[in-house]
Structures are given as structure tokens and as C-alpha cells.
């Protein structure tokens, strides 16, 4: 062997890992299809639907909104339909209320990515190899200094248990109609 290090393969997530979409961004995308004076009303209706704790109730409320949007604004209806199941992942997994507020939005991860962008913006000359990974890693170390404990961190073991249970279910039964 020539002195090259062999990396151990990274574990792959199962292809059926639950996906989560940001509810805040979904709402913004949908209301963006309306005039300014109509946006607040539609945003409130969507927020009320996403605030329902039961998966079945939230999905039913969103499907009612979707049916109404089909008649009023088909492009907004398509926006709601696209990725609807992924916006309801928290509902389906019955994520503890303590974590609900933190996980329903991608703000936490976007903050870290923003800091990485600032750090990498200062690089003037990129060299080949793993320099990109080193700079991104450096940016994440800088971002880590600003991290704080997430609200509901004590409920993380419950979330992990819910994820494990979801991964053990056959794919056809994870999506409840």
C-alpha cells in the first residue's frame, strides 16, 4: 500500500428517511402568489392549519385550503400541493411540543450556512483538493460559537425514538391518507 489513507465509508441514511420541509417557507411561497392585501389572510389560514397538532386534522385543513385555492389561484394550489407531506412530517412523527417551534422552521440551519458563506466569501484563491471542505469546516466552527441550546432539547430522545419507529415501518404504511 502506498501511504494513502483509506477513509471508512460513511453510513448512508435509508432511502425512506423522513423529509422535513420548512413550514414558514412553504407559507411564504404560497402567499407570494397573491396580491399584498390578500397575503395576510391566506398566511393566517395556512398558519392555523399548520398549528393543528394532529396529522389528520392538519392535512384535512390543508387539503380544504388546497381545494379552495384550486378555484381562486391554481398556482398557489400547486405550490401548496408540492411537498405537502414533507411539511407535515412533524405532525406525522408526533414530535413533542417542546421541539415543535424549533423544528418547524429551517432558521437554525440557515443561520449556520449564512456564517459559512461569510467565512468562505473571504477566500480569494481556491486551490484543488479538500480546501473547500476545510473552509466550510472552519465556517462551521465559527458558527458553533454562536450556537445555543435549542428550545425543547430535552425532548430530543423522544424525537429519536419516533424517527427509529418511523424507519422500521414499511414505506407504504408511513404515509397516512
CA distance 176 to 89: 11
Q: What is the pLDDT of residue 30?
A: 95
Are 94 and 162 a contacting pair, CB within 8 Å?
yes
Q: Of the candidates 49, 48, 55, 43, which has an alpha carbon nearest to the alpha carbon of residue 89?
A: 55
> Quick one: pLDDT band at residue 6, thresholds 50, 70, 90?
very low
Whether the model clears a pTM of 0.85, i.e. scores above it, the answer is no
CA distance 50 to 121: 36
For residue 4, pLDDT over 50 is answered with no
Q: Which of 3-17, 60-74, 79-93, 104-118 has the lowest mean pLDDT?
A: 3-17
List for the chain the helix, strand, coil content (%; round to 5).
65, 0, 35
Task: Write the CA distances from 28 to 49, 55, 161, integer angstroms.
Answer: 14, 21, 31
CA distance 94 to 143: 30
Q: What is the pLDDT of residue 171?
A: 61
Task: Write the CA distances from 128 to 4, 118, 122, 132, 133, integer angstroms.
Answer: 17, 21, 17, 8, 11
CA distance 167 to 89: 13
> What digits encode the pLDDT tens for the residues 94-149?
888 778 777 887 777 788 888 888 888 877 777 777 788 888 888 888 888 888 77
For residue 80, pLDDT over 50 is answered with yes
Q: Look-up: residue for cell 392585501? A: 37
| HSE of 122, CA atoms in CB hemisphere, 13 A | 8
For residues 7-24, average pLDDT: 64
Amino acid at each position: 500500500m502506498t501511504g494513502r489513507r483509506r477513509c471508512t465509508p460513511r453510513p448512508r441514511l435509508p432511502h425512506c428517511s423522513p423529509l422535513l420541509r420548512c413550514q414558514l417557507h412553504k407559507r411564504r411561497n404560497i402567499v407570494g402568489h397573491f396580491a399584498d392585501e390578500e397575503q395576510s389572510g391566506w398566511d393566517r389560514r395556512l398558519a392555523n392549519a399548520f398549528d393543528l397538532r394532529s396529522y389528520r386534522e392538519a392535512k384535512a385543513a390543508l387539503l380544504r385550503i388546497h381545494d379552495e385555492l384550486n378555484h381562486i389561484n391554481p398556482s398557489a394550489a400547486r405550490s401548496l400541493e408540492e411537498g405537502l407531506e414533507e411539511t407535515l412530517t412533524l405532525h406525522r412523527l408526533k414530535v413533542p411540543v417542546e421541539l415543535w417551534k424549533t423544528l418547524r422552521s429551517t432558521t437554525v440551519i440557515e443561520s449556520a450556512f449564512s456564517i459559512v458563506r461569510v467565512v468562505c466569501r473571504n477566500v480569494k484563491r481556491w486551490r484543488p483538493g479538500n480546501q473547500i471542505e476545510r473552509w466550510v469546516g472552519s465556517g462551521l466552527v465559527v458558527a458553533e460559537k454562536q450556537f445555543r441550546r435549542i428550545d425543547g432539547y430535552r425532548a430530543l430522545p423522544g424525537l429519536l425514538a419516533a424517527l427509529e419507529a418511523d424507519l422500521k415501518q414499511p414505506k407504504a404504511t408511513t404515509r397516512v391518507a
